Structure 1
Amino acid sequence: MGSSEFQSPRVIKAAGLPYFTPANNGGAALNPEDPSTPTLFRPLTIRDVTLKNRIMVAPMCTYSTNPDPSSPAIGALNDFHIAHLGHLASKGVGLVIIEATAVQPNGRISPNDSGLWQEGTDSEQFKGLQRVVNFIHSQGAKAGIQLGHAGRKASAVAPWLSWEGKKGSIRADESVGGWPSNVVGPAGGEEQKWAPGNVKYWAPRELSTSEVEEIVQAFARSAKLAVQAGVDVIEIHGAHGYLVHQFLSPVTNHRTDKYGGSFKNRIRIVQEITATIRAVIPDGTPLFLRISATEWLEGNPVAEKTGSWTMDSSTELAKLLPEFGVDFLDVSSGGNHRDQKVEPHGNYQIDLAGQLRKVIQQAGQKTLVGAVGLITEAEAAGQIVQGADEAVATEELLAGQEPKADAVLLARQFLREPEWVLTAARKLNVPISLPVQFARGLL
């Protein structure tokens, strides 16, 4: 029997794969222009990329790549990542952002982290990424990747290894693939450890100016490779106390060269990374930036001494993003100092995103904003973005209830509930397309 007899308008082979799987597009609203369709399920176009809905998988480290420094597969995504991320793609998300991926070997958080520093399209890192991206595309989702460098938080063992002994983070030495002598930061020395003592983290050494310039170029090389592998969206990791955040904050940046001191100098690394990436990726490729909107150090002695990164800092940076070529601001918080005081509650980061979005809107700028953190319920997610589509005048918008973001990013909720998008559509009464293989269980 010929293969053509298995074809139908609903079941066709996904392109770009050496094996058969239907070309799915689950999670897309069947009537996106209908006024009753919530903004959450309306398409979102960013440059040349259109997402079928406003639901994104936030990058989640899984510490599941080969850690062997002698292996060509070090840091390469593998079948686990296809199973994990591909399943989320098949269940209807608009964008899957692949976990924090190091642009240099010493930029990994742990020896098991994802990396994209090997040059060339024949490397195991490139091929592993391309396989994951191809499968995500086959399910009708777009693929993003978060590029980063861990800085002083690098060379720790994978958390799920340290959890066994309930010790929290444990630093990784050479015996487990770590690099204790090459942990780096804007500033160096014992006082720059993320945590004191000789168990959890290594003392960083201070980067030279030329090394910072090389890191900037490393971001660009990785971004170019990612796009060649088919990635649709590039995100720069500038949050959670990793290297870019360390440069932004006066708490961790004590430099006296062009990358330290004034606000202008401290954000220089972001300006240069965005410029170098924009120079090597297509104009139509969206560029995201994740930041910690505040370090939650207001009133803390360390902030009294040096200052810290605050909402005022983020507001000032947000206004510069259009000229940096950044299209989307992914708003998180904290992670740069152990003495931070934060009490997570349902809207603690959503409100930060809303404040920054309002500033951006008032400035007449078009940078989009993403909200992340403790988003678990469909109704709450819907309210966060309702009315963000300017083409649709909603009752909420007319009543003065401004949207807090243009899209939502979920992480842990997808670990608990991979089918969250499909469940959300049902709760919000949105008719959507269903993945072929799962449809009979979802009707």
Structure 2
Amino acid sequence: MSQHLLAPITLRDLTVRNRIWVPPMCQYSVAAGDGVATDYHLMHYGSFARGGAGAVILEATGVVPEGRIAPQDLGLWDDAQREALRPIVDLIHSFGAAAGIQLAHAGRKASTEPEWGTPHPGASLAGADGGWETVAPSAIAYDQLTEPTALDEAGIDEVVEAFVASAVRAVEAGFDLIEIHAAHGYLLHEFLSPLSNQRTDSYGGELAGRARLLLRVVDAVRGAVPVGMPLLVRISATEWVEGGFDLDQATQVVTWLGEHGVDMVDVSSGGNAVLPEGAEIPVGPGYQTPLAAHLREHTEMPVSAVGMLDTPFQAEHVLATGQADVVRVGRAFLREPNWGLDAALALRGDGEIVPPQYRRAFRQALRRG
């Protein structure tokens, strides 16, 4: 039986024990609203590492307070937040996994109520309730959210500086890799898309202009972190609507990202456009995998695939057929934090990945392997 899923992978100076990676998933669990990680985050992320993941990437983490999707997001704009992340990194490492963090700015989709526990999940947060002014490439609102303010060039410079400062803190906290969030309709994706970027200056217009901010952030972060540290970018390879950011444009952007020192691209989709009535995204098992396969085939960039890759054999198939270099398993890990251990046993891999404290429970499966 093939075991591509269990094979290590090396990016720059980092070797990750397998290709089962947990992607960033928003938790909205900073009750204090100060961006500081809590015991919840320690337990949450540590469980995935203990459960056999090769790498665990923390949720979208705001590089500035105004860059959070909701006040309950993690942040990394000050040193107190950095110190609260150190124990999480140490715990992930103690279970043999690599620790990553996704740095993000939510742009026009910031300042919203979290997905649960509030009267209007996902709606713009009123100023009286702690909301703030949002920013974007152009003053175009997303769906029913509040209209954002278009960033001027000084504001763009501040965004770049914020990503760099957070990346430096991530290095200081001990993270092994950094991912820049340029997907799902957040700020860097908003600049890439002709639907949300209608600027007439050097940050708009043709694709090279719309990609300028992302490439500036990549260059600045790449220059601020150790040479041997992998730098990743998450993109939405298509917006699923005519006239939006699409796979052809994504292919060119990924090529540029490789030229600017990015080591892997995580391939997602959508998040920046409201679909026309009657239109549907073809959501189903592995529905985004063809996007990853296209980018892997048409660029020299290693890619990770994500999106309803729920079973070990499905994930193994994606790798064995050359559609991706890494598989990211999200919601399945939420349902079963030992998903990586189960995958290793299902593929008849090395039972050593099972912590000794758990081997009594896995003994019968280990014998079968």
TM-score, L = length of structure 1: 0.79
Whole-angstrom distance in 2 between the partners of 1:212 and 1:136: 34
Partner in structure 1 of residue 204 of structure 2: 260
Matched, 1:244 2:188: yes
Mapping for residues 399-418 of structure 1, pairs under 5 Å? 402-418=321-337
Which ranges in structure 1 are unaligned for 5 or more consecutive residues?
1-35, 69-73, 387-401
Residues 57 and 226 (structure 1), Cα distance of their counterparts in 2 relative to 1, 3 Å cut: same
Partner in structure 1 of residue 316 of structure 2: 382
Partner in structure 1 of residue 367 of structure 2: none
Partner in structure 2 of residue 113 of structure 1: 73
Once the two structures are TM-superposed, the CA of residue 131 in structure 1 deviates from its matched residue by 1.4
- Picking from 184, 188, 193, the partner of 2:141 is 193
Whole-angstrom distance in 1 between the partners of 2:123 and 2:184: 18
Which ranges in structure 2 are unaligned for 5 or more consecutive residues?
364-369
Q: Which amino acid aligns with 1:155?
A: S
- Picking from 348, 352, 356, the partner of 2:295 is 356
CA contact (8 A) 1:97 1:145 kept: yes
CA contact (8 A) 1:92 1:421 kept: yes
CA contact (8 A) 1:100 1:147 kept: yes
CA contact (8 A) 2:58 2:102 kept: yes
Whole-angstrom distance in 2 between the partners of 1:327 and 1:353: 15
Deviates more, 1:273-282 or 1:426-435: 426-435
Whole-angstrom distance in 2 between the partners of 1:193 and 1:431: 51
Residues 78 and 168 (structure 1), Cα distance of their counterparts in 2 relative to 1, 3 Å cut: closer
CA contact (8 A) 2:61 2:73 kept: yes
Mapping for residues 426-437 of structure 1, pairs under 5 Å? 426-433=345-352, 434-437=354-357
Q: Helix, strand or coil for the counterpart of 2:116? A: helix
Whole-angstrom distance in 2 between the partners of 1:224 and 1:283: 13
Whole-angstrom distance in 1 between the partners of 2:97 and 2:130: 34
Q: Helix, strand or coil for the counterpart of 1:237? A: strand
Q: Which amino acid aligns with 1:425?
A: A
Partner in structure 1 of residue 106 of structure 2: 150
- Picking from 24, 34, 41, the partner of 1:81 is 41
Aligned structure 1 segments of 4 or more residues deviating by more than 6 angstroms: none
Q: Which amino acid aligns with 1:193?
A: A
Whole-angstrom distance in 1 between the partners of 2:123 and 2:316: 39
Whole-angstrom distance in 1 between the partners of 2:260 and 2:281: 30
CA contact (8 A) 2:286 2:306 kept: no
Matched, 1:373 2:307: yes
CA contact (8 A) 1:37 1:430 kept: no
Partner in structure 2 of residue 295 of structure 1: 239
Matched, 1:38 2:3: yes
Matched, 1:177 2:116: no
Whole-angstrom distance in 2 between the partners of 1:268 and 1:193: 22
Q: Which amino acid aligns with 1:83?
A: M
TM-score, L = length of structure 2: 0.94
Which whole-Å deviations, capped at 9, do the CAs of 1:196-220 have from their partners, x for residues lacking one?
3xxxx22111111110111011111
CA radius of gyration, larger in? 1
Once the two structures are TM-superposed, the CA of residue 316 in structure 1 deviates from its matched residue by 0.9
Whole-angstrom distance in 2 between the partners of 1:336 and 1:252: 8
Which whole-Å deviations, capped at 9, do the CAs of 1:206-251 have from their partners, x for residues lacking one?
1111101110111111011101110000000000000000000010
Q: Helix, strand or coil for the counterpart of 1:114? A: coil
- Picking from 122, 126, 131, the partner of 2:82 is 126
Partner in structure 2 of residue 389 of structure 1: none
Q: Helix, strand or coil for the counterpart of 1:161? A: coil
Matched, 1:344 2:283: yes
Which whole-Å deviations, capped at 9, do the CAs of 1:137-171 have from their partners, x for residues lacking one?
11111000000100000101111124xx5x54222
Instruction: Give the RMSD, CA atoms, in angstroms.
Output: 1.3
Q: Helix, strand or coil for the counterpart of 1:329? A: strand
Identical columns (%) = 43
Once the two structures are TM-superposed, the CA of residue 175 in structure 1 deviates from its matched residue by 3.4
Partner in structure 2 of residue 91 of structure 1: 51
Whole-angstrom distance in 2 between the partners of 1:230 and 1:432: 28
Whole-angstrom distance in 2 between the partners of 1:82 and 1:257: 44
Residues 441 and 422 (structure 1), Cα distance of their counterparts in 2 relative to 1, 3 Å cut: same
